[in-house]
Chain A
Amino acid sequence: MSNLRLYRYLALIIIGFILLGLLFIALFSKSSSNQTPKEGPQPNKNYSYVSKEDQQVLAQDSKVAQLIKKLPFQGKYFKLEYSFSGNVFILTFNRNQEVLANNEFAIFLKDNQILSESWLQKLQKIGK
């Protein structure tokens, strides 16, 4: 009989521990979710804005980057180089063949999907 009473007490203590444990888990889970900062970048949100118009500019710039990869380029009447440090294109040509050089250069740009010389932004023309 006394053993039975002992088992009852033990059972009560065990149940108490389990309840206490569940309480701890509930509390810790709650406090840990509270600790998670609501600040900070949120997933699936874009913090970098690019307008549709500017996307076109980015695409143009990307074409220019593709062109840079082909440089230096030696044509029949001109040579085109790019200086990474100066961020400048250098076009050299024979002064006596300037018209021919300009025409060839225009075709070269078009072939590389560069629709305007202005896309290059910095272009030094050196006639020799």
Chain B
Amino acid sequence: MSRYLFLIITFLLFFGVLAPIIHAQTVPSNSFCTNVGGADPKQNPCAQAAGNLTFYCQHDDRWRKNPYACENMSGAGCGPTTMAMVLSAYGMTLTPAQIAEMFTPQFSVCNVGTDMVSALGKGEKPNRSFIDQVGLEVGKNILINGKLDLDLAQEYLRPSSGYLIIGSSINFPTCGCGHIFVIQAADPTSNMIKIRDPNNCSISSPEERPSGIDYPVSKITSWLFAYPVKKVK
């Protein structure tokens, strides 16, 4: 009898006390970047250099609460954060917060985010104010039939061409939202692209920071645009 009682007590103890504790420990904590500091990757896990490109996170404590597009950088700041990463690859150190200021009000759209097409001087009424200010050359939209053309992407991304690509999808996998990000490499053979996602700066995803994430291109659907950009001045 006492043996059964012992088993019952152990069982109930587990579910009554231990299970909640285990449950509490397995609940993911807030994974947004919390460190502050410079662009030095040793000091700041939110800013990791890969080659010449500095990875910036839109949730970085230094600017995540900064107002942008009637929201804040953490919510709507993928556009300026992407642009900051691109410019960093060409030795231009502007933080996402500084780019956000430059984008506001011309290229920020209240309660939406960024009008990147206009910022890149590609709109119906081309506004080259930003790209002329920072000295950017913008190639052609390399979406063909709504999909990223990997052959063209690879050509633009060759060191001899010298571009990075700013991509945008209205259904990006990591957030299920419309998003803007950097494409750093493309491989038509394996159908893979290497991206820098300003929203994916979680400490639990360290693979993102050193060299970007390899994505099967098929994973990104509903493309909006993919513009090669490079700094020429």
Please judge, given known A-B contacts A14-B12, A58-B225, whether A46 and B177 are in contact too, CB under 8 Å: yes
What mask results when residues 115 to 145 of chain B are scored 1 for a CB within 8 Å of chain A, else 0?
1111000111000000000000111111110
Instruction: Find out whether the CB atom of B122 lies under 8 angstroms from the CB atom of A54.
Output: yes
Does any Cβ of B come within 8 Å of A126's Cβ?
Answer: no
Min CB–CB distance A108 → chain B (angstroms): 17
CB nearest to A64 among chain B residues: B140
Give complex CA distance A65, B178 in Å.
23
**What total of A-B pairs shows CB separation below 8 Å?**
175
Q: 3 smallest A-B Cβ distances: which pairs? A: A46-B178, A47-B113, A21-B16
What mask results when residues 39 to 58 of chain A are scored 1 for a CB within 8 Å of chain B, else 0?
11111111111110110111
Does any Cβ of A come within 8 Å of B48's Cβ?
Answer: no
Give complex CA distance A18, B19 in Å.
11
Does any Cβ of B come within 8 Å of A10's Cβ?
Answer: yes
Does any Cβ of B come within 8 Å of A97's Cβ?
Answer: no
Min CB–CB distance B82 → chain A (angstroms): 10
The A contact surface, by secondary structure, is helix
Please judge, given known A-B contacts A35-B29, A85-B160, whether A28 and B20 are in contact too, CB under 8 Å: yes
Does any Cβ of A come within 8 Å of B231's Cβ?
Answer: no
Instruction: Find out whether the CB atom of A48 lies under 8 angstroms from the CB atom of B19.
Output: no
Instruction: Find out whether the CB atom of B141 lies under 8 angstroms from the CB atom of A58.
Output: yes
For the side of the interface on A, what is the size category?
35 or more
Please judge, given known A-B contacts A25-B23, A41-B177, whether A17 and B78 are in contact too, CB under 8 Å: no
Instruction: Find out whether the CB atom of B113 lies under 8 angstroms from the CB atom of A66.
Output: no
Instruction: Find out whether the CB atom of B78 lies under 8 angstroms from the CB atom of A47.
Output: yes
Does any Cβ of A come within 8 Å of B51's Cβ?
Answer: no
Instruction: Find out whether the CB atom of B74 lies under 8 angstroms from the CB atom of A48.
Output: no
Q: Which residues of B contact A (CB under 8 A)?
A: 5, 8-9, 12-13, 15-17, 19-21, 23-24, 27, 29-30, 32, 59, 64-65, 69, 72, 74-76, 78-79, 109, 112-118, 122-124, 137-144, 149, 151-152, 155-156, 158, 160-163, 168-170, 175-180, 199, 224-225, 228
Please judge, given known A-B contacts A41-B199, A68-B152, whether A21 and B15 are in contact too, CB under 8 Å: yes
Instruction: Find out whether the CB atom of A87 lies under 8 angstroms from the CB atom of B175.
Output: no
Q: Which residues of A contact B (CB under 8 A)?
A: 7, 10, 14, 17-18, 20-22, 24-25, 28, 32, 35-37, 39-51, 53-54, 56-58, 61-62, 64-66, 68-69, 84-85, 87
Give complex CA distance A58, B24 in Å.
48
The B contact surface, by secondary structure, is mixed
Could you list some 8 contacts between A and B, CB below 8 A?
Answer: A21-B20, A37-B30, A46-B170, A47-B177, A48-B168, A48-B169, A53-B123, A61-B141
Please judge, given known A-B contacts A24-B20, A25-B20, A57-B123, whether A39 and B27 are in contact too, CB under 8 Å: no
CB neighbours (8 Å) of B12 from chain A are 14, 17-18
Give complex CA distance A7, B2 in Å.
10
Instruction: Find out whether the CB atom of B112 lies under 8 angstroms from the CB atom of A49.
Output: yes
Instruction: Find out whether the CB atom of B24 lies under 8 angstroms from the CB atom of A48.
Output: no
Min CB–CB distance B161 → chain A (angstroms): 4
Instruction: Find out whether the CB atom of B141 lies under 8 angstroms from the CB atom of A62.
Output: yes
